[in-house]
Amino acid sequence: MAKRTLIAGNWKMNPPSVREAEKILKGVMARTAGLRKTEIVIFPPSVFIERLVKIAGRSKIRLGAQDVSVQSGSGAFTGEVSADMFYDSRARYAIAGHSERRNPSAGRGESNHEINFKIKAALAAGLSPVLCVGERERDRDHAYLQLIKSQVEECLKGISKKSMEKMIIAYEPVWAIGRNAVREAVPEEFQEMKIFIKKILADKFGIVPADTVRILYGGSVSPKNAEGFLREGEADGFLVGRDSLSPDKFGRIAKIAEDAGQWRLS
Ligand code: PEP
């Protein structure tokens, strides 16, 4: 059976206070309360998660971690937060491999190998990982396709077919992300990449998990371009950055997804 469209908001290191975080969440709750066919997940800074889980209460909004440690459980790892701790705080999703954490010039330079460990830690703790993949630029010789293939294969190394039921993949071309985006991606570019990623998954895990794994689009998603990516690009949802901090814009994106997704579950 088709899964629900997933609209996820990555708040990154925003907003600056828990009070403002509560206000944004309440705004999103008010605008998404009536949605039935769309799943909403918010990834706030980790220190806000417990408070926001309480506010989300019985609503359908779920919370997630923007990153987890490669280490499980607890131990002498200063500054690290384990997937088990996030699960205990009632987070249910975890982003792994966001381009801002892969970026070597931002001082982190996470490798596929490290991301693979994070995915395993998240799965072991009961979290659904959202693996981000995406190229920094597109070359004429299509070498970027090999890069995506390596990202998918290496990050999912050793993951069982059964665990793939919980996996979500977000295709986020780095050149289309954030205020410094080179240009917007078009739905056809996403659709091609979705087919390409599904083929990699089918070769590795077989048709069944490949068919059901949701492939999200991320990169300057807004109420203006959301419908195109859903209908023409056949995106299974979005990972939204900037516009997830605006309850109005995020709510509009979720409503567009709800309307576009009517056919998915019927
Ligand atoms: C992101 O950083 O994951 C992202 C998609 O950001 P934005 O929507 O702001 O481009």
The structural domain count of the chain equals 2
pTM over 0.85: yes
Give me the CATH number covering residue 89.
Answer: 3.20.20.70
Shared domain for 46 and 80, answered yes or no, is no
Given the CA of residue 98, which atom of ligand 1 is nearest to it? 3
Shared domain for 173 and 92, answered yes or no, is yes
233 part of a folded domain: no
- Judge whether residue 14 has pLDDT over 90: yes
Shared domain for 151 and 172, answered yes or no, is yes
Contact between 135 and 173 (Cβ < 8 Å): yes
Average pLDDT over the chain reads 95
107 part of a folded domain: yes
**CA distance readout (Å), 197 to 51, 134, 169, 240, 242:** 36, 11, 9, 20, 25
247 part of a folded domain: no
Is pLDDT larger for residue 141 or for residue 252? 252
Mean pLDDT computed over 174-191? 95
pLDDT recorded at residue 108: 80
pLDDT recorded at residue 105: 77
Give the mutation target among 66, 103, 221 for probing the ligand 1 site: most ligand atoms within 8 A of CB: 221
Shared domain for 142 and 188, answered yes or no, is yes
- Judge whether residue 156 has pLDDT over 70: yes
User: What is the residue-wise DSSP string for 244-259?
Assistant: GG-HHHHHHHHHHHHH
Last residue in a domain, options 200, 226, 249: 200
Nearest alpha carbon, ligand 1 atom 1:
241
143-152 burial, b if ≥16 CB within 10 A, otherwise e?
ebbebbbebb
Last residue in a domain, options 200, 221, 252: 200
Question: DSSP state, 178?
Answer: S
Mean pLDDT computed over 112-138? 97
- Model confidence at 263, pLDDT cuts 50, 70, 90, reads low
**What positions carry a catalytic annotation?**
98, 172
Given the CA of residue 238, which atom of ligand 1 is nearest to it? 5
pLDDT in tens, 76-95: 999 999 999 999 999 999 99
Range of the domain at 15: 1-66
176 part of a folded domain: yes
Shared domain for 48 and 78, answered yes or no, is no
Nearest alpha carbon, ligand 1 atom 8:
241
- Model confidence at 258, pLDDT cuts 50, 70, 90, reads very high
Shared domain for 151 and 88, answered yes or no, is yes
Mean pLDDT computed over 174-188? 95
Contact between 205 and 198 (Cβ < 8 Å): no
* Ligand 1 near 219 CB (within 6 A): yes
- Judge whether residue 74 has pLDDT over 80: yes
Shared domain for 84 and 196, answered yes or no, is yes
95 part of a folded domain: yes
Is pLDDT larger for residue 196 or for residue 263? 196
Shared domain for 31 and 83, answered yes or no, is no
Question: DSSP state, 220?
Answer: S
Shared domain for 85 and 138, answered yes or no, is yes
pLDDT recorded at residue 2: 73
* Ligand 1 near 178 CB (within 6 A): yes
Contact between 249 and 227 (Cβ < 8 Å): no
Peptide bond into 15 cis (omega under 30): yes
- Model confidence at 266, pLDDT cuts 50, 70, 90, reads very low
pLDDT recorded at residue 264: 56
* Ligand 1 near 184 CB (within 6 A): no
Last residue in a domain, options 149, 182, 200: 200
pLDDT in tens, 96-116: 999 999 988 776 899 999 999
pLDDT in tens, 189-231: 999 999 999 999 999 999 999 999 999 999 999 999 999 999 9
Given the CA of residue 176, which atom of ligand 1 is nearest to it? 10
